[in-house]
């Protein structure tokens, strides 16, 4: 049994960035709770604040730095004794943080958060600990996480790092090379989450369809993993994110078509449509391959919701390239779409390419794409009106006397919701809802 500390220091974790950081924060929360510290949601009440940062693009870096400075002010206005910075920003810019933000009392990188309780103790003792080594942690050591009460959906990392070396991406610098977890460790984590009331698991990795090739003799093991997770009692939905099109096998499509617990939802970040842009990005596959794969998935998995993400303004992207990208989106009609403007990242090959696109043009192109997608989303959503769909009920809005949930076609926090009337049960349940109205991104209906 873990020794409990004598002091009841109050610790708040502030998480920024992607879902992978959420997972790291949950695991740190478990370690902190085991050690005997009191976890609090409000940083104003905390004596220790951990800011889990993102360092992926310029906007995320700026947000992280601003949040660190905001928390530092609590040393004067609140109860704060120790400010610890964790995550991708520290992994990449530890010297800058140490030199430029003296209020920071300790830092921990992406491969060292297992040491978080020791870092807290050292920082409270007046030291300035720095735990930033090689980002090689694989989560085999810790599968327990502490999720917040009232949470019914959780992200689970099936692999860490990436080997794809996309020219625009700094993830390998911050997270290291691709490292799969074993099926057994992931299943164990799923069981632990189910015991805490989680009913939906979203699988994440930088390259999820490549799962297992590094530890299972080159075999693509995602189909096997999904089928094993479907056997975990209490887990009702399994959702897949970040599936590279180049490794989306026929066996994987069969699992989507046949396993009732696997959500009919495919998140496949394409980044662009034009072959020469994809080549400069060093992305696998070409547009013809993507079109064929999308057609195959839709033919074999009826009603599947397809999500993708795109980058506009990549160096050398011409107006003609962008117009063709717009035509591609109009033609394929993705159910869900995210658009990012290209961000010039330090130490990446794309930063050294010629013909960079100005910020105003990038923003204009992003807005045009989202306007196109708004109409497509409304059209795709309309097909659900009059049908009965399973909806995971997640919260109650008292002022409107209405419950809010999601279908299997919508990922938590990034996609649409369903506004449900006539429900009198508990949160965290999956119920049948007859859809009566559709909007651009959301649905509304009545409990059957």
Q: Return binding residues for [4Fe-4S] cluster.
A: 18, 54, 88, 162, 166, 169
End-to-end CA distance of the chain: 48
Nearest to 158 by CA among 25, 304, 23: 23
Q: For residue 435, how far is the Cα from the chain centroid?
A: 28
Strands 430-438 and 443-447: antiparallel
User: Encoding tokens for residue 331?
Assistant: 């033609």
Annotated binding site: 18, 54, 88, 162, 166, 169
- Burial label, 118 (beta-carbon count in 10 A; 0-12, 13-18, 19+): middle
Tally of CB atoms within 10 A around 94:
17
d(CA 411, CA 417): 9
User: Encoding tokens for residue 292?
Assistant: 């064929």
Residue 29 near residue 65, CB atoms below 8 Å: no
Strands 153-157 and 200-204: parallel
Q: DSSP labels for 330-351?
A: HHH--SEEEEEE----TT-GGG
Tally of CB atoms within 10 A around 327:
12
Residue 177 near residue 163, CB atoms below 8 Å: yes
Residue 88 near residue 56, CB atoms below 8 Å: yes
With b for 16 or more beta-carbon neighbours within 10 A and e for fewer, the 380-418 pattern comes to: bbeebeeeebebbbbeeeeeeeebbbbbbbbbbeebbbb
d(CA 287, CA 275): 6
d(CA 357, CA 349): 16
Radius of gyration (C-alpha) of the chain in whole angstroms = 22
d(CA 317, CA 167): 14
> Bridge-partner residues for 87, per DSSP?
53
């Amino acid at each position: 049994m873990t020794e409990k500390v004598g002091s009841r220091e109050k610790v708040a974790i502030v998480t920024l960035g992607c879902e992978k950081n959420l997972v790291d924060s949950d695991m740190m929360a478990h370690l902190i709770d085991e050690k005997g510290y009191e976890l609090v949601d409000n940083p104003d009440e905390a004596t220790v604040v951990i800011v889990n940062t993102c360092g992926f693009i310029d906007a995320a870096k700026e947000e992280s730095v601003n949040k660190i400075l905001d928390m530092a002010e609590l040393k004067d206005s609140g109860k704060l004794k120790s400010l610890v910075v964790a995550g991708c920003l520290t992994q990449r810019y530890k010297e800058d943080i140490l030199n430029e933000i003296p209020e920071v009392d300790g830092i921990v990188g992406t491969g060292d958060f297992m040491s978080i309780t020791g870092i807290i103790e050292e920082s409270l003792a007046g030291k300035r600990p720095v735990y930033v080594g090689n980002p090689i942690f694989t989560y085999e050591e810790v599968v327990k996480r502490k999720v917040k009460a009232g949470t019914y959906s959780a992200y689970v990392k099936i692999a860490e790092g990436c080997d794809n070396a996309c020219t625009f991406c700094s993830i390998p610098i911050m997270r290291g090379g691709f490292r799969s977890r074993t099926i057994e460790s992931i299943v164990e984590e799923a069981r632990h989450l189910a015991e805490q009331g989680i009913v939906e698991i979203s699988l994440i990795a930088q390259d999820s369809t490549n799962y297992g090739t590094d530890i299972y003799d080159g075999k693509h093991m995602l189909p096997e993993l999904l089928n094993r997770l479907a056997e975990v009692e209490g887990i009702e939905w399994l959702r897949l994110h970040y599936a590279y099109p180049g490794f989306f096998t026929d066996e994987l499509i069969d699992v989507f078509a046949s396993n009732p617990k696997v959500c009919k939802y495919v998140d496949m970040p394409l980044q662009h449509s034009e072959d020469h842009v994809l080549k400069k990005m060093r992305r696998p596959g070409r547009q013809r391959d993507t079109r064929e794969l999308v057609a195959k998935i839709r033919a074999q998995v009826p009603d599947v919701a397809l999500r993708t993400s795109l980058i506009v303004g990549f160096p050398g992207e011409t107006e003609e390239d962008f117009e063709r990208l717009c035509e591609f989106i109009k033609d394929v009609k993705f159910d869900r779409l995210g658009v990012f403007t290209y961000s010039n990242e330090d130490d990446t090959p794309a930063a050294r390419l010629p013909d960079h696109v100005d910020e105003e043009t990038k923003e204009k192109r992003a807005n045009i794409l989202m306007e196109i997608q708004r109409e497509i989303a409304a059209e795709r959503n309309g097909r659900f009106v009059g049908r009965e769909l399973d909806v995971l009920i997640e919260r109650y809005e008292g002022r409107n006397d209405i419950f809010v949930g999601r279908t299997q076609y919508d990922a938590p926090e990034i996609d649409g919701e369903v506004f449900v009337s006539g429900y009198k049960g508990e949160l965290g349940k999956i119920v049948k809802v007859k859809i009566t109205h559709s909007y651009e991104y959301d649905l509304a209906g009545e409990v059957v």
